[in-house]
Structure formats: structure tokens, C-alpha cells
Amino acid sequence: MTALEPQPDGCFAPVIAVSQTRGDLILVCEHASNSFPAPWGDLGLGPDQRQAHIAWDPGALGLMQALARRLDASTIHATVSRLIYDCNRAPDMPGAMPARSEIHDVPGNANLSDASRLARTRAVYLPFHAALHGMIAEQIAQGRRPTVITIHSFTPVYFGQARAVEFGVIHDADDRLACAILALAKAQTDLICGLNAPYSAADDVTHTLRLQAIPYGLVNAMLEIRNDLISTPAAQEAMADRLAPVLAAALAQMTEA
Amino acid sequence: MTALEPQPDGCFAPVIAVSQTRGDLILVCEHASNSFPAPWGDLGLGPDQRQAHIAWDPGALGLMQALARRLDASTIHATVSRLIYDCNRAPDMPGAMPARSEIHDVPGNANLSDASRLARTRAVYLPFHAALHGMIAEQIAQGRRPTVITIHSFTPVYFGQARAVEFGVIHDADDRLACAILALAKAQTDLICGLNAPYSAADDVTHTLRLQAIPYGLVNAMLEIRNDLISTPAAQEAMADRLAPVLAAALAQMTEA
């Protein structure tokens, strides 16, 4: 690997699904996939590692799609593992192409050359953000004001520590929507909720919001669901049933503001 | 025009010139062109209007290129008039496709339909910013930290009022580079200088900086030169001789910080 890493032939475009009702909500799932396509392959990871939370956010794609059906949202999701390129990280952030994730070394990411980092940025990061930018700018051009919400999941045990939080709401510079969602989730569900938990913007996890929503002054937030609560399609649907009314009510408050 | 405005066949990509010395400075000229290509044509404007400052920033492209030669910078510039689409404005800003500019009506921009606004956004705005985003992200992926400076010119007389300022330095949320350039320009040149003059971020003139530089924490600034001082190629070269040392010294201060 490293300097000899083969170069991709093309780009690994994200998948977009546009609301059929012209809904103004855009849901984003940067960590939807645990696909390790050629030319990168498995990065030296075993099957268990490629299934684990280090490779993707298990359950997040299904939850996002279940929410989109209930909220008439448009969606976009990445199609390669975050370990090949994490689209929620700028190319210079350590987590963009990490050589180590939690307690796992990622052999195929050790000592990446500038050429390899550049190739992955071109193949994965730039097409993802160009596509999302297009979704946002095209809505704005038509007089609409999209809301951007990123959908993530987190592992129940991290560095050996159990996490009590079940539902985290994270904000960047604009906390309006995050605070509204948190208050409503506490009032309307029995989920154990946390603001800026288990991560916060200080951990560089709000790159998509900062790049895509903040420059346009768009209402935005990042959601984190503990992945043991959304491990099956049925659980994802059930969680969407709990969260969709919360999100709808929070969005209605934004419209009124 | 309006709802019947013909749709463009393709996109009107910007022109990029990459530094041959891997310089980390990126110069941007959103208002480089007074070209009015099909399918839009002249927007109902006369030849004098299409030559005037409302259509473009006269002299800015030549100055940018003269600065780039002296500073080993990469450059990007738009290839259609700002009256077709102003790449330094978000699609919902009044100035993006203005129906009136200063004292001039723009007939081809009156009552633009959503479809027309969408088509111009796709044809001009999105390709411009995708290209600039690529320049920036590719440098960052290789461990570099580009500086982004946008180059503009302004008219000596606006709404009938003469403007005394000759050189304006404008910042968005990050004022580090702008303040350094201003102090050095005052100390090293006899130009009449102004901070956030003749415009400021409050006038929505820092969209490119906000969209492209601020999310990455990149050093950035916007420069405005009174266009009577750069009206010929010789004047552009002479102004570049005056400003290049100022910019180089300011950039050196940023590197030291």
C-alpha cells in the first residue's frame, strides 16, 4: 500500500434520493456503507472489522431512509467505507483516512502518500460534497430554504467504556435546531438524550454542517443514535416512529422563528 | 425572457491556472468576464452597459494574473458576466441574478422564473464553486494550507458619488490576513486604503470566502481596487508591482503565526 496504492479509475459517487413532494429537508449519511471496493480493497482488515462500527455507522442508512419516508425528505449517502475516506472529515483531518480507529490499526491507511490521499479525496470526498452542494444550491435557487440533518450511529462500548446515552444531538455554530430537537426528544420520548454527546464539534465531527449548511445560514443539526437500538430493519423503523414526530415538531418551530 | 428563457446546453466552467511551483496561494476572480454567451445573450443591455462595471470588474482579471506571476499563485476566474450569474453570491441573494444593478435595469433578469434561476445556478455557480473546492481540497489533501484571496475592482463613481478609497481590504469572520494587508499597504504604498471599504461582509460580498475558506480555517481576504487605477494592461502590471510585495509580506506574517 502507501506509495504503491493503486489509483481509482473513477469516482465513487454518493446515492441521492429526491423527495417526490418537494420537501425541504435534506438528510445526509456520510457513514452509510461498509463497502471496500477496488482499487483499495479491505485495507488489510478482517471480516469482523469490516462489519464493525469503525468501518461504518451500522443502522444509520436504514434509519435515515425510514425517517425520509415519514418526513418527505431528500437523502444522500456515501457508498464506500469511512475508512477509505470519511466524508464527514476535511482531507487534512486525522479521521479522514485514519491509520488507527478506536483500538484497531488500519494497515492499508498506514503512511499514506500524498498521492494516495489526493486520489481518495478526488474519488470519494469531492464527488460527495459536490453532490450535496448541488442539492442545497438548487433548492436555494428556487426560493426554498433546506434544512440539513446528518444521521449517524455510535457504538455502545468505546475504548472499553459503556455509553449510557442513546440519542445524541450535536451542533456546530448554529444550535437552534439541535436545542429544539433535544428539548422535544426529552419531552416526547423515553430515550436517554445528550447534547453534543457522545461527540461534539470540538472533535471535528461537524465538517459537513460547517461546509454545507453554515455558509448559507441554513438550519442544521447532527443526530447520533446508539447502534444497538437500530441493529435490524424493524428496529430502524421503530426508532423512526419515535424520532420522526420529534424532528417534525422541531422543524415546525424553526419555520415559525 | 423569464419563464421562456432558453436553457443552457451545458455548463460554463471557470478557467483554472495552477502554479507551476506548487505555490499555496489561490487567487479568485469571480467578476473577470463581461461575456454574455448564448442562450442568455445580452440580457437586453446595450454595448456601453456590457462594458461597464455592472457587467464585470474591469481590470480585475489582468491584475490577478499579474499578481499570480509575481506570487507563484494558482488562479481561477469565471467566464460569464456577473449579471448572468454572480459567483460571489449565493443563489438566493438579490445580487446573484440582479434585475437592477446600481442605476441600470437588467431586462433579461426581470421576474426570472425558478426554472431560469435553477438553470443558471447549475450552469455557472455550481461548476465555479466545484472547481474552486477541488483546488482547495486537493491542496489540503497533500498537507498544504492554501490561502484564498479574491480580487475585485470597483467603480470610481457609484450612484453619482465619487469614491476616494483606492484600495479596499475586506474580511469575513477571519480578519487576520485582511488586517495584515491593510497595515502593510498603508506603510509601504501611498494608496488611499480602507478596511471593509467600499463594501463589507454585511453587504453579502464575502460569499466565496465564507463558502470556501472559512469552513477549512484557511487564511483569506478580499481585495478591491478602484478600476480607474487598473484600466490598462500596463496599469495592471504597475499595480501588481505595488501590491505583490504587500501581499507577500502579509502572507509571511501568516506563516509565522
In tens, the pLDDT along B66-103 reads 999 999 999 999 999 999 999 999 999 999 999 999 88
Cβ contacts of A148 on chain B, cutoff 8 Å = none
Q: Which fold has domain A2-256?
A: Aminopeptidase (3.40.630)
Contact A214 B215 (CB under 8 A): yes
Per-residue confidence (pLDDT) for residue B4, from 0 to 100? 62
Q: What is the pLDDT of residues A190-215, one digit of tens each?
A: 999 999 999 899 988 999 999 999 99
Q: Which has the minimum average pLDDT: A35-49, A139-153, A243-257, B77-91?
A: A243-257
From A90, A121, A142, residue closest to B118, measured CB to CB: A142
On the question of pLDDT at A2 being above 50, the answer is no
On the question of pLDDT at A23 being above 90, the answer is no
Preceding peptide of A198 cis, ω within 30°: yes
C-alpha cell at A22: 418537494
Which of B22, B86, B88, B92 to probe by mutation at the A interface, max A CB count within 10 Å? Answer: B92
On the question of pLDDT at B24 being above 90, the answer is yes
On the question of pLDDT at B21 being above 90, the answer is no
Contact B211 A215 (CB under 8 A): yes
Contact A130 B125 (CB under 8 A): no
Question: Which residues make Cβ contacts (< 8 Å) with residue A175, sequence separation at least 6?
Answer: none
Greater model confidence, A173 or B103: A173
Burial of B31 per CB tally in 10 Å (0-12, 13-18, 19+): buried
Question: Which residues make Cβ contacts (< 8 Å) with residue B40, sequence separation at least 6?
Answer: B5, B6, B8, B80, B84, B108, B120
Cα B248–Cα A210–Cα A24 angle in degrees, nearest 5: 135
On the question of pLDDT at A63 being above 60, the answer is yes
Asked if B178 and B221 touch (Cβ cutoff 8 Å), the reply is yes
Query: Kind of pairing, strands B100-101 and B104-105?
Result: antiparallel
Contact A121 B137 (CB under 8 A): yes
Contact B143 A207 (CB under 8 A): no
Q: Name the band, by pLDDT with cuts 50, 70 and 90, for residue A20.
A: confident
Preceding peptide of B39 cis, ω within 30°: yes
Query: How many other C-beta atoms can be found within 10 angstroms of the C-beta atom of residue B46?
Result: 10
Greater model confidence, A218 or B2: A218
Query: Region B223-233: what's the mean pLDDT?
Result: 98
Proportion of chain B above pLDDT 70, given as a percent: 98
**Distance of CA A153 to CAs A150, A157, A175, A198, A205, Å?**
10, 12, 20, 10, 12
C-alpha cell at B128: 465555479
Cβ contacts of A92 on chain B, cutoff 8 Å = 140-141, 143, 145, 216
Per-residue confidence (pLDDT) for residue B167, from 0 to 100? 98
Asked if B88 and B207 touch (Cβ cutoff 8 Å), the reply is yes
Per-residue confidence (pLDDT) for residue B195, from 0 to 100? 97
Q: How close does chain A come to B93, measured CA to CA in Å?
A: 9
C-alpha cell at A16: 441521492
Query: Region B141-161: what's the mean pLDDT?
Result: 95
How many CB pairs below 8 A link A and B?
83
Contact A122 B138 (CB under 8 A): yes
Per-residue confidence (pLDDT) for residue A257, from 0 to 100? 63
Q: Spell out a b/e string for A34-68, using b for 16 or more CB atoms within 10 Å of the CB, else e.
A: bebeeebeebebeeebbebbbbbbbbbbbbbbbbb
Per-residue confidence (pLDDT) for residue A253, from 0 to 100? 96
- Residues of B with a Cβ under 8 Å from any A Cβ are 90-92, 114, 117-118, 120-122, 125-126, 129-130, 133-134, 137-138, 140-143, 145, 207, 210-211, 214-216
Per-residue confidence (pLDDT) for residue B257, from 0 to 100? 63
Cβ contacts of B133 on chain A, cutoff 8 Å = 126, 129-130, 133
- Residues of A with a Cβ under 8 Å from any B Cβ are 90-92, 114, 117-118, 120-122, 125-126, 129-130, 133-134, 137-138, 140-143, 145, 207, 210-211, 214-216
Per-residue confidence (pLDDT) for residue A1, from 0 to 100? 41
Cβ contacts of B138 on chain A, cutoff 8 Å = 118, 121-122
- Which chain A residue shows the shortest CA-CA distance from B138? A118
Q: Name the band, by pLDDT with cuts 50, 70 and 90, for residue A114.
A: very high
Per-residue confidence (pLDDT) for residue B9, from 0 to 100? 78
Query: Region A54-68: what's the mean pLDDT?
Result: 98
Contact B90 A216 (CB under 8 A): yes
Cβ contacts of B214 on chain A, cutoff 8 Å = 215
Q: Name the band, by pLDDT with cuts 50, 70 and 90, for residue A4.
A: low
Query: How many other C-beta atoms can be found within 10 angstroms of the C-beta atom of residue B242?
Result: 15
Query: Kind of pairing, strands A104-105 and A147-154?
Result: unpaired
- Cα four-point dihedral sign A48, A54, A55, A58: positive
